[in-house]
Structure 1
Amino acid sequence: MQEFEEFIQEKMNPTNIFIKICTFLLLCSTLAYGQAGYGATTDSVYGSSLAILSSPTTLPLSPAPAPSPDYEYVNLTGLLTVAGPFSTFLKYLETTKLIETLQAQANDTDEGITLFVPKNNAFSNLKKVSLSNLTSDQLKQLCLFHVLPHYYSLSDFKNISGSGPINTLAGGSYTLNFTDDSGTVHIGSGWTKTVVSSSVHDKDPVAIYEVNQVLLPEAIFGTDIPPPAPTPAPMVAPDIAPVADGPEVADGGKGKGKGKGVAANSSTPSSSYRITGRNAWMWAVIVPLFVGLIVVL
């Protein structure tokens, strides 16, 4: 009993009781603070989430891609129709259905295109060859022989002048030679030697140049090229010796003026010896009348 009483006294000691009460209150306050903080955190998270979902906020847009370079579409048919007398060449392009091929080369490739377009009279002036005898494939090659599969400005021909044959859209041995002579572009194909007479359209990626002759390839017409027609010699006036001045001989007197020589006077009878047809008729009538009158008297 004594030990129990001592235990009770020890436990009921005011100091021990104070310490235990403080410890209890500290534990309770810690638990209460933790619960309050957890609830506040949860509510704030859910509240902010609901606010984001309910508010009509827009998401940031990604920057738009830069626009691609805008090339102007070139209508070759329209250009050749209104630019000059090119209806014959355009007719060949449409008949062979090559106009679509050239349109694709001009507008759908990075290389561009260069056309050498003969005028209508260049086709009508063809005398040594005839295009009517060509096959459909040869006519296509002839048309493509006038096209370079690359855009060349007039100034570009200075760089390729004399550099050798340049491939055309016809391919193979269908090549052209170019020479720049003080800004004048000369074109040679073996059969044809011509120049660029004017620029119809010159804007990347399409160049169209006018030429005075049809470009004839050796791959179609052969290498037996007829020599050019000789240049006619200039006409020379015949030399005429001047007539010597001298006196007239008809009357044995001196000449009345210069420039009338002996040869002139000897070939020209005097007017006193000229008998016209009218005077001869009059003499033929008057003389018999005169003779008859004498006889009567």
Structure 2
Amino acid sequence: MKLQQSAFSLSLLILFICHTKTVSLSPAAAPVQAPTVAPVQAPPPPAAQIPVLPGPINVVNILERAGHYSLFVRLLKATQSDTELTVELNHTHNGITIFAPTDGAFSGLKVGTLNSLSDGDKVKLVKFHISPIYISPSQFQTVSNPLKTQAGKGGRMALNVTTTGSAVNITTGVINTTISGTIYNDNQLAIYQIDQVLLPMELFAPNLPPAPAPAPAPLVVAPPPRSLRRLRRCYIGCVDELIHITMSAYMNNIIAVSRNLQI
């Protein structure tokens, strides 16, 4: 009897071992893969600020070192504005603020926009991106509007600057854009990146016809005062009396002459 129980226990042990090996050798279920998420394209980074360089200040060198401003650099050179800026920045203490459009900003213009401008208008366009005062990033909060530019005086050649938090918005009357980065800042010269070309109203907005002059008010003749009316009646009465007296004297003279002739 004990032998049978031992044999039965041995059989159970062998069966358990075989089942354990079978489970361990079976392939594991493949893990559930997470759904593929499309990569999100990050917005372009703001302009990297160029460190202050020793030696004379050169706007073209700063923009070329920063990259992505080749078209604006070309306009600066073509209009000789680069030379004027170099002289002003290195031989005076005048501050300058430049709003530099990226190459992408120029590609957003209508085809032929720049070619349609005269040489003088191209100079105005470049100078419209330059303010003759230094504006630090924090000073945009308190800058006075309209912000004058080197393009000339008047509201049609000026900028309006507003801020919302740390965002700085620039309005020309034709376009609105936002400063997207600081390129350079040395407490005399500040260069900021913008993603649209600043288009002045003087060049890109049609001149509105002058408003017609207001029609003249109808002439209203006020009635004469009572004293004047009384004087006029007196005058008319006197004239009538004078005429009557004159005519009477005239007739009396005629009658007298007639009588004398009869005698």
Query: Hey, what does 2:202 align to over in structure 1?
Result: 219
Letter in 2 for 1:191: V
Is 2:114 aligned against 1:126?
A: no
What residue number does 1:85 align with?
Answer: 68
Query: RCO greater where, 1 or 2, for CA within 8 Å and sep 6 or more?
Result: 2
Say if 2:82 is the partner of 1:99: yes
Shift, 1:200, TM fit: 0.3
Q: Return the offset for 1:128.
A: 7.7
What is the CA distance between 1:95 and its match in structure 2?
0.9
Q: How far apart are residue 172 of structure 1 and its match?
A: 1.9
Cα distance in 1 for residues equivalent to 2:61 and 2:187: 17
1:108, distance to aligned residue in structure 2 (A) = 2.1
SS in 2 for 1:187: strand
For the residues of structure 1 that align with 2:184 and 2:137, how far apart are their CA atoms? 11
Residue 224 of structure 1 and its aligned partner are, at CA, apart by: 7.1
Q: SS at the partner of 2:196?
A: coil
Give the AA of the match of 1:212: D
Distance 2:163 2:56 in 1: 30
Change (3 A) 1:84 1:191: same
Q: Partners of 2:171 and 2:87 in 1: how far apart? A: 27
The answer as to 2:186 corresponding to 1:197 is no
**Candidates 158, 164, 169, aligned match of 2:145:** 164
TM-score w.r.t. the length of structure 2 is: 0.55
Q: Deviation of residue 109 (structure 1)?
A: 2.1
Report whether the alignment pairs 1:76 with 2:88.
no
CA drift at 1:129:
7.0
- Quote the residue 1:33 is aligned against: none
In 2, Cα distance between equivalents of 1:176 and 1:186 = 10
Structure 2: runs of 5 or more not aligned = 1-53, 209-263
CA apart distance, 1:126: 0.8
Give the letter aligned to residue 124 of structure 1. S
CA distance in 2, matches of 1:211, 1:111: 23
CA distance in 1, matches of 2:178, 2:112: 20
- Which position in structure 2 is the counterpart of 1:141? 124
> Could you tell me the percent identity over the aligned residues?
35
- How far did 1:210 drift? 0.3
**Separation of aligned partners in 1, 2:109 and 2:207:** 17
Tell me how large the CA RMSD over aligned residues is.
1.9
Distance 1:78 1:107, change over 3 A: same
> Given the superposition, is the C-alpha separation of residues 180 and 129 from structure 1 closer, same or farther in structure 2, using an over 3 Å criterion?
farther
Does the 8 Å CA contact 1:198/1:209 hold for their aligned counterparts?
yes
Alignment-derived partner of residue 7 in structure 1: none
Distance 2:167 2:206 in 1: 26
Measured in 1, the distance between the counterparts of 2:88 and 2:175 equals 25
The Cα shift of 1:223 comes to 4.3
Distance in 2 (alpha carbons) for counterparts of 1:221 and 1:84: 28
Letter in 2 for 1:164: N
Q: Hey, which bits of structure 1, 4+ residues long, moved more than 3 A?
A: none
Cα deviation digits, residues 176-234 of structure 1 (max 9, x gap): 00011101110000111001000000111110000000000001112479xxxxxxxxx
CA distance in 2 between partners of 1:190 and 1:150 (Å) = 21
Q: For 1:195 and 1:125, how far apart are their aligned partners in 2?
A: 15
Q: 1:96 to 1:179 in 2, by over 3 A?
A: same
Q: Deviations over 1:5-58 (max 9, x none)?
A: xxxxxxxxxxxxxxxxxxxxxxxxxxxxxxxxxxxxxxxxxxxxxxxxxxxxxx
